[in-house]
Amino acid sequence: MSYNFILDRCFLDIKKLMLHKAAIVTFMFIVLLFSWFAGQMAVDEKEIVFPVMIETSTTCQTTTTANQNQLIVFTPSKYVAQLLTQNLCDDKVVAKQYGSVIGYWGYRTVDSLEFVGKGIADLILAKNNIMEAFRAETTYNYQPVVGFSDYTAFFISSKEKPLITKQYFLDKKIGLLDYPTSRSGHILPKQTFKQLGLNIAQLKITYASSHNELRELLANGQVDLIASFWRENDSKRFSKNYITPISSNVAGTRWYLKMQHNNTDLLCAVQSHLLSMSKEQSFRYYQDVEPYWQCNNYPVTFIGEL
């Protein structure tokens, strides 16, 4: 058998093998293509609806729908955002200036930072230290409309009254909030540790994303104490004998309105709705609201905190 004959046979076998593989690949491609066409025929594109997984805003129209101006509201509470948005849409003063109202909500401090830092919201519920940090009152002319009362920050334990001593905190598991703008859950406790000469790295700290999560950590025994404020219903889970004040007269949250114009009609309409809504709140803290503007007589004047 000659060398050329053997070489020809090798090439022939390789060619057959390549053709065989090509046939398999072609067959698989035809099957996939057929499956795709079958799926397109079986499912109408109009029937494919992807549900909204996370809803973070609500919108309503005023009576002047042709008006393109939009009043933007932000609050940490979904319930408040939805209620206030609809109330403002039904307001005659708002309808003279805006065609729609959109209410956003976000449960994290970083959400409010976004709205304050960029001046997105026309009306926002925020802590005054956040507004001061961004100089929002001078940069965007945010003006306080109503404010909630000051409160006290506490160390809260489930088994004993916390002591404010260096030795006490060294062997304790401590729950704090993970955002640095919270006074009761982050700033004040860390200031206390610093005053006691404690290094944060020495402490066993567990960070939570909300005050509710802090309470769950404490109730489940995952931490020995937390830094927060005291709620009325906390007595159902914890003893009021086992709380120690960190600082009193911590400034409460306030509603701020962006006043780029001297729009006192809008300001007084907003203040009226906020005062009415406060009476419907379940927590006593949110019922105790203080108006900052005199709107009963013209001209409207700022009266500040009483």
Q: Which of 91-95, 181-185, 202-206, 267-271 has the lowest mean pLDDT?
A: 181-185
What is the C-alpha separation between 130 and 256, in angstroms, rounded?
12
Mean pLDDT of 264-274: 96
Closest CA relative to residue 125, chosen from 238, 277, 240, 5:
277
State CA 5 to chain mean position distance.
Answer: 79
Domain ranges across the chain: 57-147+252-302, 151-250
C-beta atoms surrounding 251 within 10 Å: 16
Mean pLDDT value across the chain: 83
pLDDT at 184 over 70: yes
Rounded to whole angstroms, what are the CA distances from 18 to 4, 13, 26, 30, 104?
A: 21, 9, 12, 18, 62
Helix (H) or strand (E) holding 226: strand 225-229
* Identical fold between 57-147+252-302 and 151-250: yes
pLDDT at 51 over 50: no
pLDDT at 151: 86
Domain 57-147+252-302: top CATH class: alpha beta
Architecture in CATH for domain 151-250: 3-Layer(aba) Sandwich (3.40)
What is the C-alpha separation between 282 and 240, in angstroms, rounded?
21
pLDDT at 250: 81
On the question of a cis peptide bond just before residue 51, with omega within 30 degrees of 0, the verdict is no
**How would you classify the pairing of strands 225-229 and 70-75?**
unpaired
pLDDT at 165: 96
Place of tokens 């003893």: 239
pLDDT at 205 over 90: yes
pLDDT at 227 over 80: yes
- In the structure, what pLDDT confidence band is assigned to residue 53 with cuts at 50, 70 and 90? very low
- Residue 102's identity, in one-letter code, is I
Closest CA relative to residue 177, chosen from 250, 104, 107:
107
What residues have CB less than 8 Å from 271, skipping those under 6 apart? 145, 146, 291, 292, 293, 295
Question: Helical H runs in 123-182?
Answer: 128-133, 136-139, 166-170
- In the structure, what pLDDT confidence band is assigned to residue 13 with cuts at 50, 70 and 90? low
The answer to whether 119 touches 138, Cβ cutoff 8 Å, is no
Tokens of 61: 């129209």
- In the structure, what pLDDT confidence band is assigned to residue 18 with cuts at 50, 70 and 90? low
Q: Which of 40-54, 65-79, 152-166, 289-303 has the lowest mean pLDDT?
A: 40-54
pLDDT at 284: 61
Question: Helical H runs in the chain?
Answer: 3-42, 78-89, 92-97, 109-117, 128-133, 136-139, 166-170, 188-195, 211-219, 264-278, 284-287
Closest CA relative to residue 146, chosen from 55, 272, 23:
272
Angle at 24 between CA 20 and CA 29, to 5 degrees: 145
Report the first-to-last Cα separation within the chain, whole angstroms.
113
pLDDT at 150: 83
**DSSP 8-state symbol, 107:** S
pLDDT > 70: what percent of the chain? 78
- In the structure, what pLDDT confidence band is assigned to residue 26 with cuts at 50, 70 and 90? low
- In the structure, what pLDDT confidence band is assigned to residue 49 with cuts at 50, 70 and 90? very low
Closest CA relative to residue 227, chosen from 162, 276, 155, 299:
155
- In the structure, what pLDDT confidence band is assigned to residue 28 with cuts at 50, 70 and 90? low
